[in-house]
Amino acid sequence: MMKDLFDLTGKIALVTGASRGIGESIARLLASRGAHVIASSRKIDACQAVADSIKADGHKASAFACHVGDMEQISAIFEHIKSEFGQIDILVNNAAANPYYGHILDTDLAAFDKTVEVNIRGYFFMSTAAGKMMKEQGGGVILNTASVNGLVAGDKQGIYSITKAAVISMTKAFAKECGPLNIRVNALLPGLTDTKFASALTTNDKVLKMALHSIPLGRVAEPDEMAGTVLYLVSDASSYTTGATIVVDGGMLA
């Protein structure tokens, strides 16, 4: 019988930003393929609701609050994973910050610091913490949610675009140094997706109309349409793929 390359049975997967949107869709899909998913975000109640719903569907999940911009909370979640599960097979860095929408010249220090704190520093130290555990256990997979803005800067999304470009570079750097440790590191680059996170774009009729004009498929993506690419990248279906950045944007950058 042919092996199911998408089977995640026995895997422990940590998904950040899992309380809604793309993160929630990823958590649900990985759990449906057999992984025990740890749903994480800043708010435990929202994470617990997702975990409870996953369990109600007959799959495995738990919740743990973690603000990835807080170094102490990063340490706490990995201590929890070590004591509770003894392993981490999959890390999905999906939590992100985008507090400012406006001209780049008007970016204030608070918005700059928050965006960098979560999108760069958070991803980096989540990855090093997970990577150290993966090194000890003989391997694992890290998936970073970047953005098409990391390739082509979004209008009035300057600092966010800059941090997502950094995530793409970070993905390649970790892939190069962690490949010999049997740790694969890849990135998903979503296009415009119908989430609360992207509401500054999707609820502005003028901006949305301009965006749709540049998308060959002619519509905004649903969060579930991002999860399938993540499943591919964290499963054995992509066992020889590392350092890759896969664009899922409806053809916008084609």
Tell me if residue 160 is catalytic.
yes
Rounded to the nearest 5 degrees, what angle is found at the Cα of 118, between the Cα atoms of 113 and 120? Answer: 90
Is the dihedral angle over the CA atoms 32, 83, 66, 178 positive or is it negative?
Answer: negative
C-alpha separations of 56 from 7, 53, 62 in Å: 20, 5, 12
In 10 A of CB 216, how many CB atoms? 9
Active-site residue among 100, 123, 160, 232?
Answer: 160
**Cβ contact 65:88 at 8 Å:** no
C-alpha separations of 213 from 22, 138, 207, 208, 231 in Å: 23, 47, 10, 9, 29
* Residue corresponding to tokens 């800059």: 162
* Residue corresponding to tokens 């509770």: 84
Taking each helix axis as running N to C, give the angle between helix 158-178 and helix 109-116, from 0 to 180 degrees, rounded to the nearest 10: 20
In the sheet that 140-145 helps form, which strands lie side by side, from edge to edge? 60-63, 36-40, 12-16, 90-93, 140-145, 183-190, 245-248
Taking each helix axis as running N to C, give the angle between helix 44-56 and helix 21-32, from 0 to 180 degrees, rounded to the nearest 10: 30
**Cβ contact 129:74 at 8 Å:** yes
Show which residues are catalytic: 160
